[in-house]
Structures are given as structure tokens and as C-alpha cells.
Chains A and B, each alone.
Chain A
Amino acid sequence: DARVTQTPRHKVTEMGQEVTMRCQPILGHNTVFWYRQTMMQGLELLAYFRNRAPLDDSGMPKDRFSAEMPDATLATLKIQPSEPRDSAVYFCASGLGTGVGYGYTFGSGTRLTVV
């Protein structure tokens, strides 16, 4: 059963520290999304990639967030420096991006708490 793997599952860090979240998309999927979910804002799109190329990262605070895909099996989202308002669940999702009927698959998320 193919799945999207995210690490770590939980992260508690102090304000000002660097945080790196990792995502392993499903093998063969060429589209990867990063979302942030909070009670107030719901699911917000931060960035997404197609064939490892960044297509849109306008949802990210550029001064502190960065997203990369160093290879087809790894996507990373980095926050430096972290702030308490970054506390949220960060989801990665992958798919084929061709309108095939099964949509996009989400990972289990990284729950980030910045204190």
C-alpha cells in the first residue's frame, strides 16, 4: 500500500531554532505539495513542485521558510528562525497531477510546536 512518509511526526522546538521537515512522496509521483493546517486558517498551500521544479511558493513567508526537492524521493520544508506562530500541522501530499481519478495522497503530517 503506497504512502507518503513524513518525518518527524512531532517536533517541539524553541523559538529561533531551525526546523526541517521531510517528505518522501510515493514513488513515481511527480507533483508534491506542502500545506500547513491550523484551526483558524484551515489548509493553506505553502509551496508545490512538479518534476522537482518549484512552481509556486507564494504561500510561504519567504524570509523564514524554504522548500526544496533535492531529488525525486525527498522534499524538505525548512523554517529558520522558527516562531510560535509557526505552530501547526504541516502536511505533504503527492500525486501524478494528470487528473487521474485517485487524486493526491497525504502524508500523516508533522505536528510542530514552537515555544
Chain B
Amino acid sequence: EDKVVQSPLSLVVHEGDTVTLNCSYEVTNFRSLLWYKQEKKAPTFLFMLTSSGIEKKSGRLSSILDKKELFSILNITATQTGDSAIYLCAVEIKAAGNKLTFGGGTRVLVKP
């Protein structure tokens, strides 16, 4: 059975701290790994990673994939209260139309 596991479950930090979120997976026919941010409503897309070792960056957020060890990390530097959200990791499986399976998410709270 395909599995996507995120850690930690939740964390609380203060503004300015750096946060590292983990996503590990065990799937057959891996295609890509995606990160989403969910605030009050729908998840919004952050990154899609397909190749090992290539960092994707957007402002203070960055992410990298290790296809040998089967995990990805999402880093947020100089955190702000607006970064408070649930961060979701999903793996796209290259079978029958690219099934997308999500992990349980990491809830991040950034305090002022």
C-alpha cells in the first residue's frame, strides 16, 4: 500500500525562526512529490519536485527531494505569522492516470 508520512505533526515557532518539515514516502511508480499550503480554505500549490538534489525555491520557502532515501524537506526561513498553516505533502503515482496521495500534514503555528 502506498504511504506518505509527514513529520512533525505540528510545531510552534516564533517569528524569525527557521522551520524544516519532513515528508517520507513508500510508493510504487513514483512520478513526483508536491507540497501544498492550506490556510483556512483550499490547499494552494507550492512546489512540484521530480528530480533528486535540485532545490526549488520561492521567496523564503525552499524544498528538495531525495529519491534514494525517499523523502523531501520543506524549509521556511525567517518565518512570519502569515506562514501559519497546514503544510501538505503529496506523491503523484505514475499509474492509471497519476494518482495523488496526501500525507497527514504538518500544522505550523508562528507566534509573533
Contacts and interface: CB of A to CB of B under 8 A. Distances in A.
A14 interface: no
Contact of A33 (B31, B32, B45, B100): B100
B34 A108 contact: no
Interface residues of B, number: 23
A99 B31 contact: yes
A99 B30 CA distance: 11
A104 B97 contact: no
Size bin of chain A's contact surface: 20 to 34
Given A93-B100, A99-B50, A109-B42, 16 more contacts: A42-B105, A43-B43, A43-B88, A45-B102, A48-B99, A50-B96, A55-B96, A55-B99, A56-B96, A99-B32, A99-B98, A101-B48, A102-B48, A103-B48, A104-B34, A108-B42
Interface of B: 31-32, 34, 36, 41-45, 48, 50, 88, 92, 96-105
Interface of A: 31, 33, 35, 42-43, 45, 48-50, 55-56, 91, 93, 97, 99, 101-109
